[in-house]
Amino acid sequence: MRTTWRRTVTRQRAVAWTGLLSLTMAATATSQAPAARPRRVQDTLTSPSIGADGRVTFQLYAPKATEVLLRSEGPAPFANQPLTKADSGVWKLTAQVPADLYIYWYDVDGVAVADPRNNRPRVNMTTVRSLLEVPGAASEFFAERAVPHGEVAAVHYQSQALGVPRRMHVYTPPGYATSGQRYPVLYLLHGAGDNDQSWLMAGRANFIFDNLIAAGKAKPMIVVMPAGHTPTTPGAAPAPDAFARDLLTDVVPYVERNYRTLPGRERRAIAGLSMGGQQTLNIGLTNLDKFSQLGVFSSGWFGQEGAATFAKNNAAVLSDPKVNDRIRLFWFATGKDDFVLPSTKAALALLDQHKIKYSYKETEGGHTWPNWRAYLNEFAPLLFR
């Protein structure tokens, strides 16, 4: 079959697409008839680019700006650094950048803008930023490598619980389509600034799982990334339990109807970062008939009050003498510099008080994606053992 396809490939002469491309883009951008006009400097820039020396160059065409700075979500050596303007109107900065995935944007005289010459966006709940991946040992675990890849589906469904159309993303492991096997499921929740794409765009969850599975370090599993925010009426308080209802009455049943899942709580895990970690605590602990394994990244109940409220409303759960048998994995991690650290401590204190077992890792760093990628990479191998 393969040979047949190969043999009959056509032998057409290639067209120089670059010329047509600039013609097309000029024509579509201005809706004018095409003309052999020269490409403008802003249409020829590559940004960011990584030089032979490994240094990264950012470039932005902004002829009238008086100040251009780089900004980043999370630490970066170029954060808050000024770019320098050349006569061409192009602002430039070249920097040594350690291997990692960075979320950055420009501050152009106070305007926060994604890099217009970078087609790898990072979308969050309200805005769009740009991604820079610097290859190297530190980014190997989430890089797209020559290993078998799972597929990631964008899934649109009508939420019965919320009465609105919703979207989630679902990772199926390599070989899913042809294996005929059933798989355990991790429900992986995003943070308050994010959406259902964030664990992919910024988190690289799909490549992290591809790499772990290829190395035999994690079991093949389905990973479901729902949307954690629910619709609110402007000015009104969020509806209680809205996300929990969507997850439990729509998302999980959809997944179990449409994917080959292994049944039962032993084969279902839930984890999340920040807001998603709080959702994990609230939903996971009160639904141990459905979930047996919990991951809480950079989270807690957000303060003593949140922990106290949970304790008041869920005394039976916390005092269940079998709770430690029912929770097969209860994994926490938070960074030393994370503003959420006191909330994590409050959560752990409540668990200590009720003699509920967990593992906790306090890492370097703050409330940032480098930590969440690393946490997922460490947590996933522990699942479904």
> Is there binding between residue 265 and a second copy (CB under 8 A)?
no
> Is there binding between residue 159 and a second copy (CB under 8 A)?
no
Closest contact distance (angstroms) between CB of 251 and a second copy is 10
Single-letter amino acid, residue 92 = K
How many angstroms from the chain centroid is the CA of residue 177? 24
* CB neighbours of residue 72 within 10 Å: 19
Of 182-190, 211-219, 241-249, 326-334, the segment contacting a second copy by CB under 8 A is: 241-249
Q: How far apart are the first and last CA of the chain?
A: 40
In the beta sheet, which residues pair with residue 170?
153, 224
* Binders of a second copy in range 51-70 (CB under 8 A): 60-66
CB closer to a second copy out of 125 and 382: 125
CB closer to a second copy out of 95 and 123: 123
Closest contact distance (angstroms) between CB of 207 and a second copy is 8
Task: Kindly report whether the peptide bond that precedes residue 48 is cis, defined as omega within 30 degrees of 0.
Answer: yes
> Is there binding between residue 100 and a second copy (CB under 8 A)?
no
Q: For the residues of 114-160, what is the DSSP string, one character each? A: --TT---EEE-SS-EEEEEEE-SGGGGGGS--SS---EEEEEEEEET
Could you say which DSSP state residue 266 is in?
Answer: G
| 3 state SS for 217-264 | CCCCCEEEECCCCCCCCCCCCCCCCHHHHHHHHHHHHHHHHHCCECCC
Single-letter amino acid, residue 84 = T
Closest contact distance (angstroms) between CB of 385 and a second copy is 26
Of 156-164, 323-331, 350-358, 376-384, the segment contacting a second copy by CB under 8 A is: 156-164
> Is there binding between residue 214 and a second copy (CB under 8 A)?
no
Of 8-16, 49-57, 322-330, 346-354, the segment contacting a second copy by CB under 8 A is: 8-16
> Is there binding between residue 25 and a second copy (CB under 8 A)?
yes
Binding mask 111-150 for a second copy (x = CB under 8 A): xxxxxxxxxxx-xxxxxx-x-------------x-x--x-
Binding mask 284-323 for a second copy (x = CB under 8 A): --xx-xx-----------x---x--xx--x----------
Q: Which two tokens stand for residue 332?
A: 């926490």
Could you say which DSSP state residue 108 is in?
Answer: E
Q: Which residue has the tokens 């959406």?
A: 195
Closest contact distance (angstroms) between CB of 159 and a second copy is 11
Closest contact distance (angstroms) between CB of 241 and a second copy is 6
Q: Are 220 and 185 in contact (CB under 8 A)?
A: no
Q: Which of 214, 201, 112 is nearest to 173 (CA)?
A: 214
Closest contact distance (angstroms) between CB of 219 and a second copy is 20
> Is there binding between residue 34 and a second copy (CB under 8 A)?
yes
Closest contact distance (angstroms) between CB of 330 and a second copy is 17
Give the H or E element holding residue 164: strand 164-172
Contact with a second copy (CB under 8 A) among 219, 267, 328, 367: 367
CA atoms of 290 and 269, how far apart (whole Å):
9
Contact with a second copy (CB under 8 A) among 36, 52, 137, 177: 177
> Is there binding between residue 268 and a second copy (CB under 8 A)?
no
> Is there binding between residue 360 and a second copy (CB under 8 A)?
no
